[in-house]
Amino acid sequence: MQMSQYKSPLILTTFMQVKDLTVEELKLLIQETVTETLQSLLIDPDQGKELKKEVQQQLLESLGDMVSLH
């Protein structure tokens, strides 16, 4: 089965078993899996969002309390 027939190796695994993959297909599957995993871990889910004023004030007060303890 040719890799060019599929958009992603993840789709490929739904039709085939790992033992049926070529070395190149397995490498690509591993590479895409690692890339997706790293991206999911490194992406900030709160990027672009703003803190509510109340939350921001609580954080500032908390930081002030921490500084005064030292």
Question: Model's pTM, two decimal places?
Answer: 0.48
The tens digit of pLDDT for each residue in 21-68 reads: 889 988 998 999 999 999 988 988 888 899 899 999 999 999 887 777
Q: Which of 42, 6, 44 is nearest to 25 (CA)?
A: 6
Q: Which residue has the tokens 């070395």?
A: 23
Residues 6+ apart with CB under 8 A from 59: 51
Q: Return the domain boundaries, the chain.
A: 3-69
CA distance linking residue 9 with residue 22, whole number of Å? 11
pLDDT attached to residue 10 = 57
